[in-house]
Amino acid sequence: MNKRKRFIATSIILSLGLFAVQLVKLEVRYQAIAVLSVLAYFFSAWALYKDLNGIEWLTVLILPVFYTAASGFFYFLLPERWLTRLLIASLYGFGVYALLLTENIYSVAAIRTIQLLRAAQTVGFLLTLMTAFFLFDTIFSLRLQFWLNFILIFLAGFPLILQSFWSVELEEKINAKVFLYTLFISLILAETALFLSFWPVTVAAGSLFLTTSLYVLLGVCHEHFKERLFKKTLKEYLWVGVIVFLVTFLITAWG
């Protein structure tokens, strides 16, 4: 079976798995999502194994696992209708296929330069933000204590940020620069979640604000890593952050 067929097979199998998760009893759905996320790692590894080397067995496979878990958790928050289930499972399958193509480009680009790398980084960036939004929305919907929000957002953000920064560097090891930037941005994100825990904001608005914060932070750092962080680029990212902050502030139901 060639690589493209493995990508298609993995996408179909995981989509059916996501669909099946929604049919199990509510009491065991979290366990079912955990199992599906583990399967996502192994099926993605099977689809990409010929080009995976060293640290890529971790960095390349982080996003497929977290994308699967995030999609499964976010699925809980949607209406339990057959049409919705089929639509989400289908969209998830297309996302997995696009993700496998992206991760394949990363693994190949780590060895030699290819022209599709920039497009892959854009797709990976968008899927990282989508995955983050699903996870943030799930965490905020649980209405947990502020310190739990801090911990969970940090744990959810750290791996996503790590693989995102690695996708720019594409080195054989995770260097100190990538690790320190990942730690710093993850802490900022967790502290923002801590701040939002005391703000009377809706779950959707809070998740969108936190995702936008991640967009700004990742975008600025990506440009810095590429040595293309100019004043104009920085202002564009900052303006996005300011606008979303003001909108969030205005739509907040102040007591």
pLDDT by 10s per residue, the chain, length 255: 788 899 999 999 999 999 888 778 777 888 999 999 999 999 999 999 888 888 889 999 999 999 999 998 888 777 677 777 778 888 899 999 999 999 988 888 766 667 788 888 999 999 999 999 999 999 999 989 999 999 999 999 999 999 999 999 888 888 899 999 999 999 999 999 999 998 888 898 999 999 999 999 999 999 999 888 888 888 999 899 889 888 888 877 765
> Tokens 């620069």 — which residue?
177
Dihedral sign of CA atoms 76, 79, 85, 86 in order: negative
Residue 47: what pLDDT? 92
The rounded distance, in Å, linking the Cα atoms of 238 and 82 is 41
Q: Is the Cβ–Cβ distance between 31 and 21 less than 8 Å?
A: no
> What pLDDT was estimated at residue 110?
65
CA atoms within 13 A on the CB side of 27: 0
pLDDT of residue 186: 96
CA distance 134 to 117: 26
The predicted model scores a pTM of: 0.93
What's the domain count of the chain? 1
Q: End-to-end CA distance of the chain: give it in Å, rounded.
A: 60
What is the rounded distance in angstroms from the CA atom of residue 21 to the CA atom of residue 86?
12
Cα–Cα distance between 145 and 156 in angstroms, integer? Answer: 16
Furthest C-alpha separation in the chain: 60
Q: Is 235 exposed, middle or buried (0-12, 13-18, 19+ CB in 10 A)?
A: exposed
Q: Indicate if the alpha-carbon torsion angle 176, 177, 182, 188 is positive or negative.
A: positive
Distances from the Cα of 108 to the Cαs of 4, 50, 101, 171, in angstroms? 15, 10, 11, 12
Residues of the domain holding 117? 3-251
Residue whose entry in the numeric block shows the structure tokens 């060293």: 54
